[in-house]
Every structure is written in structure tokens, then in C-alpha cells.
Amino acid sequence: MSLKNQKHYTIPVFIPELACPFQCVFCDQRKISGHQESPLPEEVRRTIEDHLSTIPYEESYVEIGFFGGNFTGIPASMQESYLSVAVEYLKRGIIKGIRLSTRPDYISPEKLKMLKAYGVSCIELGAQSLDEDVLRLSGRGHKLEDIVRASRLIRQEGFSLGLQMMLGLPGDSPEKALLTARKIVDLGADNTRIYPTLVIKGTKLEQMYLKGKYRPLELNEAVCQARAVAEIFEAAGVNIIRMGLHPSEGLISGEYLVAGPYHVSFRELVQTEIWNAILKPLASGSGKVITISVAPCELNAAVGYNARNKKELLQSFQKVRFISDPLLKGRQFIADYN
């Protein structure tokens, strides 16, 4: 089976906020990730084994990912203790890659040399924005030049580059979000994650929100902005790994969430919005019944979250049918009117 056709799995290991030197206004990784303490190496091994017991790793592309903090900022000995566990599975051929997330200002040739020695294949940088004012107002503690420099070093050393971005940060705008997406493409990112900014309890952003100094995006605003940047990434071939925060128990219950565009199916909402724009012109077609053929992998998105797109077309037709056609690729579609 080719790599392109293999199903991908990432085994997540969360290391919450262990070495971040700055407290970004939006950040509390312990609450966002649902993990309060950093794991011991033995716990990392147990996490890996638990995930491997539930996935067909022999037929899939499986990687281990260290997320949630500033991985290259923790002591080198701790980095190596975590990576030593992961590299065992890499050498045995059970996993195919190791990825990690870190800050742009904690990348150096020396750090990259060590990561390469342990088989790390992808480094994700929490860029969040590529606008200087947004970085400053968000308390990131680094500048645009740090992102550019780190991205260049990572690519020069042969790693896959991930650049994460956030929507709706202090000082941000739809126009700045589009510019950030375009710059991420220009920096040569292979993959990205798109996160709408949420107001989490205990953060500086909560104080700003309660004082009326910050307004989070409405859900529909976040979806529309995500759709716009997603289309830029898709056109450039940048893989969108995730849209929206991973649903931790505290976010789902509302225990940690103060305000903001959180939705457990945020990606589905964005994909629905993309298809809605594609299908909207069909409403002007003639006939009582419309049958729309789409690629199998796009069927649910074309119908829409809670059948939104189908319901809108039913305002123009007596019957709307969506069927899958394995000969269609991507967002190709065929519409037949009767």
C-alpha cells in the first residue's frame, strides 16, 4: 500500500506548558489539553502501547507526537528521555515518524541536530500569527523574524515543517488572517493547524474579555475565516492537520471555557461552508429533483453538518439526492436535474 493511501494515526503525548518562558494571553495548556501534569517516560510508553492496541499499525502510517508545550525548551536530558522511548518504536518499524511542537524562538542548529539523531521527522511551530502587532498583543514573546528564521533552519535540516495559526487573536482581523496563511505557504510549510481563539478561565485573555477589552469571534465568523484560510492552504498543497481545538473534557463541559467559538465539530462546519459556496449556484437550476454526485470522502461534507446544504437546496427543489461516485476526486461534483 502506498504512503498516500495509508491511513494516518498520530499517537499524542501531551507535555503541558512545561517550559514556556512567556504566558501568552490566551494560553493555559493544562486546561486546553485536559492534561495537568507532564508524563514520566514510563507513562509515555504506556500511552503508546494503549494506542497501538486499538489501531491497525501494521497497515497504517503511525507517528508519535509530543504536543502541548515548548518541547525544545525543556532540559535536553528530559527531551532525550521522551525521545528514547519513541525511537524504540521507530527502530522496530512499528511507527513511521516522530513529530513535536515547540516555540519558534527555541530552535537552533544544535537542538535540530539532537532531534535528527532521535529520528524526529516533523517539527511544528506555534506561529499563531505572522503579524507583528498580533504577536505583541498576544504576549507571544517573539517576533516574526523568529518564525522566519526557525522555519528556514527546520527546512534546511530536512525536517517536515508545520506552522500553526490562530484566528481572532487580539489585534487580528480577517485580512491579517489571510496574510498569515499566505506567509505560512511562502515559508514552505508542509502542514498546518487552524485554531479559533477561545477565552479560557484563568488567562489574561479572560481578564481582557471581562473588562470589555477583547471580543472573541462569533462561531459563524470563525467558520468563515477558517474557510478562507483553508482554501489558501488547499490551493498550495499544505495539509491541514486539524481545525479547532481537540475536545478535552473541560472544554466540552464548559468548566474551562469562558467565551469564544468552540464547537466539537468545527472542522465539519468549515467543510460544510466550503461546500455551501460550491453548491449555492445550483439552486437556480430547473427541475423538481436534483441529484448531486460527489467523491465518497466528500459525501458528508457536501450534505453538510446537520444536512445544512441539503436543506438549503430543498428550498428550490422537491427532492435533493446526494450520491457518491468513486470516479470523482476532491470536490468535483456532477449535478443532474429532473
What whole-number distance in Å separates Cα of residue 13 and Cα of residue 38? 9
Asked if residue 275 is part of any domain, the answer here is no
Residues 257 and 288 in one domain: no
Residues 234 and 328 in one domain: no
CA-CA distances (angstroms) from residue 207 to 203, 225, 262?
7, 25, 19
Give me 56's grid cell: 491497525
What whole-number distance in Å separates Cα of residue 143 and Cα of residue 275? 36
Last residue of a domain, one of 264, 291, 307: 264
Asked if residue 273 is part of any domain, the answer here is no
Per-residue confidence at 21, pLDDT binned at 50, 70, 90? Answer: low
Going by C-alpha positions, the residue among 96, 14, 13, 86 that lies closest to residue 57 is 96
The string of pLDDT tens digits covering residues 74-103 is: 889 999 999 999 999 999 999 999 999 999
Residues 248 and 303 in one domain: no
Decide: residue 166, CB within 10 A, 0-12 exposed, 13-18 middle, 19+ buried. Answer: buried
The string of pLDDT tens digits covering residues 284-332 is: 887 899 999 999 999 999 999 999 999 999 999 999 999 999 999 999 9
Q: Which helix (H) or strand (E) holds 335?
A: strand 333-337
What whole-number distance in Å separates Cα of residue 79 and Cα of residue 66? 10
Residues 230 and 331 in one domain: no
Asked if residue 226 is part of any domain, the answer here is yes
Decide: residue 94, CB within 10 A, 0-12 exposed, 13-18 middle, 19+ buried. Answer: middle
Residues 201 and 316 in one domain: no
Residues 225 and 171 in one domain: yes
Lowest mean pLDDT among 30-39, 165-174, 244-253: 30-39
Asked if residue 271 is part of any domain, the answer here is no
Residues 259 and 287 in one domain: no
Residues 74 and 116 in one domain: yes
CA-CA distances (angstroms) from residue 164 to 39, 112, 181?
24, 19, 10
User: What is the domain count for the chain?
Assistant: 2
Residues 86 and 227 in one domain: yes
Last residue of a domain, one of 215, 232, 264: 264
Asked if residue 269 is part of any domain, the answer here is no
Range of the structural domain that residue 332 is part of: 281-337
Residue 71 sits in a domain whose CATH number is 3.20.20.70
What whole-number distance in Å separates Cα of residue 304 and Cα of residue 227? 14
Query: Among residues of the chain, what percentage have pLDDT more than 90?
Result: 81
The string of pLDDT tens digits covering residues 206-252 is: 999 999 999 999 999 999 999 999 999 999 999 999 999 876 656 66
Residues 150 and 41 in one domain: yes
What whole-number distance in Å separates Cα of residue 71 and Cα of residue 231? 30
Decide: residue 182, CB within 10 A, 0-12 exposed, 13-18 middle, 19+ buried. Answer: middle
Residues 132 and 198 in one domain: yes
Asked if residue 270 is part of any domain, the answer here is no
φ, ψ of residue 189 to 5 degrees: the values are -65, 140
The string of DSSP codes covering 202-228 is TSHHHHHHHTTS--PPPHHHHHHHHHH
Going by C-alpha positions, the residue among 130, 125, 71, 121 that lies closest to residue 95 is 121
Asked if residue 332 is part of any domain, the answer here is yes
pLDDT surpasses 70 at 17: no
Residues 152 and 201 in one domain: yes
Asked if residue 229 is part of any domain, the answer here is yes
The string of pLDDT tens digits covering residues 256-290 is: 899 999 999 999 999 999 999 999 999 988 789 99
The answer to whether the predicted template modeling score (pTM) of the entire model surpasses 0.85 is yes
pLDDT at res. 24: 83
